[in-house]
Amino acid sequence: MYNFLKLLSSGLFKLTGGITISGRDHIPARGPFILVANHQSLIDPLVLGVCIPRTIIFLAAAYLFELPFIGRIITAGGALPVNHPKGDLGTIKQALANLSTGGAIGVFPEGGVSSDGKLQPFLPGWAFLALKAGVPAIPAAISGTRRVLPVGKYVPRRFPISVVIGKPLFPSTQPRTCRQSINKLSREMAQTIAGLLKSI
């Protein structure tokens, strides 16, 4: 089902103006990683799914699973629900299990779609996950999706989308992660993604 959704999404984005991607070589061909991206539209996971040559399991706000159309799409894509903005223990355990078998997890640490398109403060759950698993965290900057499907709209518009993948950050394994390490990694990732957005 993931590959089928990827094929449908690819066709959709060709109709809306296409996607330009750079830095795809930063995605490892195998092994676990966490993809960390800014969030401008509900279609961002579909965009990244098209751009990344690996199956990505996204963490998504629980309420999205209740939406008539979006809920079916993200469920079919294998997304994991997050019930609390700061993280959900059950979901974190599932994500860690996925990473332990060489899978890839996708997160939007702003906690939701940015209302004005500007990068919002990052929530710490993703950084805890990266430190706990000791896997690379790969930054991704998305631009243009807010114009294709703005907040509150349901019909896509034509506008080109750009995605830039940055170099991975490599946190070391820390079974007992501390708040200082989590905050430091989160700040570093936010600064990296902000820099990538400026390059688009």
Q: What pLDDT is attached to residue 83?
A: 75
Q: What is the residue extent of each domain of the chain? A: 32-130+150-199
Q: Is 85 helix (H, G, I), strand (E, B) or coil?
A: coil
- Contact in structure between 108 and 35 (CB atoms under 8 Å): no
What pLDDT, on the 0 to 100 scale, is given for residue 14? 96
| Three-class DSSP category at 107 | strand
Angstrom distance (rounded) from CA 29 to CA 118: 31
Q: How far apart (Å, rounded) are the C-alpha atoms in residues 54 and 169?
A: 18
Residues of the chain with pLDDT under 50: none
Q: What DSSP string runs through 117-163?
A: SSPPPPPSHHHHHHHHHT--EEEEEEESHHHHS-TT--S-----EEE
Per-residue confidence (pLDDT) for residue 194, from 0 to 100: 98
- Rounded Cα gap, residues 73 and 90, in angstroms: 21
CA-to-CA separations, 137 to 81, 117, 118, 147, in angstroms, rounded: 20, 23, 21, 27
Whole-number Å distance between alpha carbons of 24 and 107: 17
Q: Work out the number of other CB atoms within 10 angstroms of the CB of residue 161.
A: 25
Separation between Cα atoms, residue 181 and residue 157, nearest integer Å:
41
Helix 179-199 vs helix 125-133: crossing angle, to nearest 10? 110
Q: Write the pLDDT tens digit of every residue in 79-114.
A: 998 876 555 778 889 999 999 999 999 999 998 999
Give the pLDDT of residue 63.
Answer: 77
Q: What is the pLDDT of residue 75?
A: 82
- Please tell me the predicted confidence (pLDDT) of residue 84: 62
pLDDT of residue 86: 54
